[in-house]
């Protein structure tokens, strides 16, 4: 059994283990980072049925005392109410400062379980076991956790790094196609940011048989950025490629379009805008569109530039009369560009126009 290991050097640092057939021995990997203690597995109703028994048994075999909490699968569970129920569960099960939370699931589980670990007793340790492609390539690493508020997504949360991440690529085999594509969108984003090697896999390669390599590359790339900018004051903002417009699309659709699918359209729009406004060389949009479509994603939206601009500017996390966009100047050469908010509409318009 070959295991790839990527070290993320933030705080005291942690290892991301990636490979096939890891769930059954996750306890052995986790115990290297967290000595046997009480482990509260937090998961959702879908993942519970697929993997909870295997993970709980492996943790018990490694010496952990295990309890488990599950909530209904889906973004609609990423709320203060679910967070509250998890915190009560941790208290009822007598978890102490030396115990730990195990987040078993996709990005929703990872975000809410990480946040719960960060607030319970002012912070206990947690481990990520990502089971979606998106969680594997993106959300399980970097320490962003949180929940949605009624006013907007991810508006409450904290930065708190996990103790370890265990990613079993076999889990991804059971993912519905649409959910797999969500992860492909974030991985293609990393390809556009990091360069040809990763990007070309999505452009021409065999994605399904390269999962370990893709996840390893994405995690290492994100890790290198988070190591220099843990709290997103500068460089980490480049990870938001496609996200200004992507978040606007999510919002305009009343969150019926998922994060990855919206970010895919966001990347296509900003790539076409970059080409048409002379911000890229050579043109990037044809290649980016091809990679997205080939991996089950769309590159067009029916929302108007005005609708998207209004949604982007109402983003509760945005401040001031300027907005910073990530411009795909080329594959592997993206850069930040701050523009007055009054120019956003024309940038989006350039990216929407049919030619």
Ligand X SMILES: NC(=O)c1ccc[n+]([C@@H]2O[C@H](COP(=O)([O-])OP(=O)(O)OC[C@H]3O[C@@H](n4cnc5c(N)ncnc54)[C@H](O)[C@@H]3O)[C@@H](O)[C@H]2O)c1
Q: How far is the CB of 9 from ligand X (least distance, A)?
A: 18
By CB under 6 A, residue 179 contacts ligand X:
yes
Which of 11, 63, 74, 234 is the binder for ligand X (CB under 6 A)? 74
The runs of H, that is alpha helices, within the chain are: 26-30, 45-61, 80-92, 107-119, 133-134, 177-194, 196-204, 211-228, 243-252, 259-276, 285-294, 305-313, 344-352
Of 134 and 198, nearer to ligand X (C-beta) is: 134
Q: Is 53 exposed, middle or buried (0-12, 13-18, 19+ CB in 10 A)?
A: exposed
Asked if residue 104 binds ligand X (CB under 6 A), the reply is no
Select from 58, 128, 139, 301 the one that contacts ligand X (CB under 6 A): 139
Q: Which stretch binds ligand X (CB under 6 A): 32-40, 127-135, 245-253, 328-336?
A: 127-135
| Token pair belonging to 236 | 């980490």
Work out which of 38, 78, 247, 287 binds ligand X, going by CB under 6 A: 78
For ligand X, the nearest residue by Cβ is: 107
**Which of 6, 56, 73, 265 touches ligand X (CB under 6 A)?**
73
Secondary structure letter of residue 165 according to DSSP: E
| Strand 334-340, strand 322-328: pairing | antiparallel
Contact flag: residue 111 with ligand X (CB under 6 A): yes
Least CB distance to ligand X at residue 274 (A): 23
Residues in contact with 354: Cβ distance below 8 Å, sequence separation at least 6, in sequence order: none
Least distance from ligand X to the Cβ atom of residue 149, Å: 13
DSSP letter, residue 345: H
Q: What are phi and psi of 245, to 5 degrees?
A: -75, -35
Q: Is 75 in the site for ligand X (CB under 6 A)?
A: yes
Radius of gyration of the chain (CA): 20
Interaction site with ligand X (CB under 6 A): 44, 46-47, 50, 73-75, 78, 105-109, 111, 131-132, 134-135, 138-139, 142, 144, 154, 171, 174-175, 179, 182, 259
């Amino acid at each position: 059994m070959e295991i790839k290991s990527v070290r993320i050097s933030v705080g005291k640092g942690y290892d991301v283990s990636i490979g096939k057939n890891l769930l059954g021995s996750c306890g052995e990997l986790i115990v290297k980072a967290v000595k046997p203690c009480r482990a509260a597995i937090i998961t959702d109703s879908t993942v519970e049925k697929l993997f909870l028994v295997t993970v709980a048994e492996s943790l018990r075999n490694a010496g952990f005392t295990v309890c488990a909490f599950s909530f209904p699968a889906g973004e609609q569970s990423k709320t203060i109410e679910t967070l509250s129920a998890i915190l009560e569960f941790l208290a009822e099960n007598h978890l102490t400062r030396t115990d730990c939370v195990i987040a078993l699931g996709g990005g929703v589980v990872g975000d809410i379980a990480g946040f719960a670990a960060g607030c319970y007793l002012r912070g206990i340790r947690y481990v990520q076991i990502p089971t979606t492609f998106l969680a594997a390539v993106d959300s399980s690493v970097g320490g962003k956790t949180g929940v949605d508020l009624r006013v907007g997504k991810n508006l409450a949360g904290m930065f708190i790094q996990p103790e370890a991440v265990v990613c079993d690529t076999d889990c991804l085999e059971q993912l519905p196609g649409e959910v797999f594509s969500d992860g492909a969108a974030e991985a293609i984003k990393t390809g556009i940011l990091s360069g040809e090697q990763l990007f070309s896999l999505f452009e021409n390669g065999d994605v399904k048989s390269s999962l370990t390599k893709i996840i390893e590359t994405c995690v290492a790339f994100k890790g290198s950025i988070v190591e220099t900018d843990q709290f997103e004051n500068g460089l980490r903002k480049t990870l938001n490629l496609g996200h200004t417009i992507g978040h606007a699309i999510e919002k305009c659709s009343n969150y019926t379009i998922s994060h990855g699918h919206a970010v895919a359209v966001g990347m296509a729009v900003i790539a076409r805008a970059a080409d048409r406004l002379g911000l890229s060389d050579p043109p990037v949009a044809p290649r980016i569109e091809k990679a997205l479509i080939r991996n089950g994603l769309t590159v067009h939206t029916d929302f108007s530039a005005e609708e998207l601009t209004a949604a982007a500017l109402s983003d509760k996390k945005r401040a001031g009369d300027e907005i910073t966009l990530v411009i795909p100047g080329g594959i592997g050469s993206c850069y930040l560009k701050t523009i007055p908010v009054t120019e956003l509409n024309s940038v989006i318009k350039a990216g929407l126009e049919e030619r």
